Structure 1
């Protein structure tokens, strides 16, 4: 990897480590420590994610207009200030306000980081986005483990750790990203249909929107592990440290499994679309296993299966967005992708919380499985109307 990408990877690790102190335990904190229902907890997380959607779109647009450096610094400034507020204010209303601001600031950072990755190493293709994805999960593994440990003493230590990590990330960004430049090398032309085809802008964006719908559903399902399933683990007597261990294994498996994943992708899943289809199918298996699990070992098995699915799906979608994006619109396209993921995180907790509060956890598993079938169908057909430019000169 080129040096600029290493700087981005290091920054992503620090950023996500700080965020991962808090996000896996949000529902538990709101439900158990602030005394709110799962539905209220879902609404709070919905506000956090909704602010993230806005931050994603603004951050992506700012990358195209004023560059990633200013966009990233502004986003970090918001997240640092918000996490500092959480250190001193622990009642429900301040928690709600600062969590929304954290969502907005974090949302601004991610599309710029991914757009930077795609532009500083265009010839890397999927490798650049996968490097950022792996960096995220190194942060998840470290942050979730540390967060569970800190929470066992006092939740205030989570907020302090969060603040310190954002401060470190800010310093790295100020020093390392000021002179970050785009690679001028010509990109390898690819499409989601065939690497030899160049596709129309309208068809590109249409294909991206359809794919993002499938992506949204996947995140709607995935986020249940951070919300309703997190609370479910408490109901069946699994400790916070053991629940955090699920996410530690998730992150560790993503990092350690990269050599095997590269071998599988190179030999059997060479097309990005195929990776997404197989990944969604694995998601479905994971939720089937989780629905029948009432002990830690069963949920750990389901988490391992889920992780294999996300290793295929999560890096593939921004890769396609990078391939589809016209020159000068990289930030916007990554903003759309990141806002889709954030939208899934926004509606997932409230949808899951309502289902569980009204009908129970098993119903939630059934609904999620049905939604994943829809996602799989959309992933299969999303690119069917992409038209090669060579076949028509009409826009």
Structure 2
């Protein structure tokens, strides 16, 4: 029997569980393939790239099924794929079964990620912007918990990691089975006479915003890959680099909840929020250009993280507010696919720029890319604003 609305707490519980389970598996990919399976780093990189591409496909499929099939069955399908592949990994984690099952898990995770974002638009008790803010906090909290627990479980054997992840996915399946079967009543209705014009007008705004979003993820991925080497070149240790990510988690845990206090203002000034977030992204790379001491790298990460918590949930909020009821799944899938694409190509693009030029050229390229596409987004937004003003004048 369908419920009238999805409870926010169950969506947050689901996000926490699935992100904790996923964080048991993904961070170990390179280390496990290289140290345990004795495959090359290149092979590990290829597997990770394929995983990202497959996740993009999963994001798209998840969005399409959410809109055209049924949200409830879509998320159960995605979780079921995760459960089956994680259980299989518990028993078959040699080569090449590990890589094959990981790719299947990627597809399921793509469906689940898009479904969770799309279900966020169905929560009736809170504004969608509030839901995306808290959802982003819970997903990061799950990643922090997962990476901390992995270090405790891994010495007992890799199979225990996969078994524990399987257990978490099973728990999420039951949560979704009992709590996610909700009616998809419209929370927001559009004037049908303006559907064609509205879709045409919003397309450029959404695409220009997604371009900024993808560039920001490409820049963000430099911290995951190439900046670690840059820090070592400046005399810092691997432990120093790992603490940078601990600092990232601390900033998110401290400041993300603060945004919920100002949710009304942030929603009413969504463009200001997005501009501030992406400009902070660019500013963090300005700091990196001049960084030599460890505190400067921490400062750059702190600025980047503040930009992240402003911009990333803001993108989902902006897109949801712009599209029609029956397009929510599709466009949340596109948002997730944009993030997956940035994660896939980011390390490769960064490595190519560094090898052909320098780290500083990479940082400057990141700044210029963000600014150029951010200007494009604001231009399209201004065009839309003028159109609305003209229509109001005519009336």
How far apart are the structure 2 equivalents of 1:244 and 1:85? 31
Equivalent position SS for 1:342:
helix
Q: For the pair shown, which has the larger CA radius of gyration, 1 or 2?
A: 2
- Whether contact under 8 Å (2:209, 2:374) holds in the other structure is no
2:273 corresponds to which of 251, 272, 275: 275
Structure 1 match to 2:184: 182
Would you say how many aligned residue pairs link Structure 1 and Structure 2? 380
Identify which range, 228-237 or 308-317, moves more after superposition. 228-237
1:242-292 Cα shifts (integer Å, max 9, x gaps): 655444443342232135434666668851111111111111222333455
Q: CA offset at residue 55 of structure 1?
A: 0.7
| 1:146–1:226 Cα change, 3 Å | farther
Show the 5 A alignment for 1:225-236. 225-230=223-228
Match of residue 36 from structure 1: 40
Partner of 2:330: 332
**Matched ranges for 1:371-382 at <5 A:** 371-382=369-380
Shift of residue 315, structure 1, vs aligned partner: 0.8
For 1:50 and 1:233, locate their aligned partners in 2 and report how far apart those are by CA, in whole Å: 29
Task: Out of 322-331 and 18-27, give the one that drifted further.
Answer: 18-27
Go from structure 1 to structure 2 and tell me whether the alpha carbon gap of 1:262 and 1:171 turns closer, same or farther (over 3 Å shift): closer
Question: Is the alpha carbon distance of 1:3 and 1:75 closer, same or farther for their aligned partners in structure 2, counting shifts above 3 Å?
Answer: closer
When residues 161 and 364 of structure 1 are mapped into structure 2, their CA distance, relative to the original with a 3 A threshold, is farther
Distance 1:70 1:153 in 2: 36
Gap change, CA 1:286 and 1:389, over 3 Å in 2 = closer
2:100, 2:335 → 1: CA distance? 25
Aligned-residue CA RMSD in angstroms?
3.3
Q: Give the unaligned 5+ runs of structure 2.
A: none
Which stretch has the larger CA shift, 353-362 or 81-90?
353-362
2:8–2:125 CA contact under 8 A, matched in 1? no
For residues 232 and 39 of structure 2, the distance between their equivalents in structure 1, rounded to whole angstroms, comes to: 15
Distance in 2 between residues matched to 1:74 and 1:231, nearest whole Å: 40
Equivalence for 2:134: 131
Query: Contact 1:28/1:230 (CA < 8 Å) preserved in 2?
Result: no
Using the alignment, how far apart are the partners of 2:10 and 2:61 within structure 1? 23
Q: Would you say the 8 A contact 2:120–2:128 is kept in 1?
A: no
SS in 1 for 2:382: coil
Work out the CA distance in 2 between the residues paired with 1:25 and 1:159. Answer: 11
Cα distance in 2 between the residues matched to 1:306 and 1:277: 13
Aligned to 1:203: 201
* Residue aligning to 1:349: 347
Aligned match of 1:194: none
Q: How far does residue 238 in structure 1 lie from its aligned partner after superposition?
A: 3.6
Match of 1:96 in 2: 99
User: What is the rounded CA distance, in whole Å, between the counterparts of 2:241 and 2:160 in structure 1?
Assistant: 18
TM-score where L is the length of structure 1: 0.83
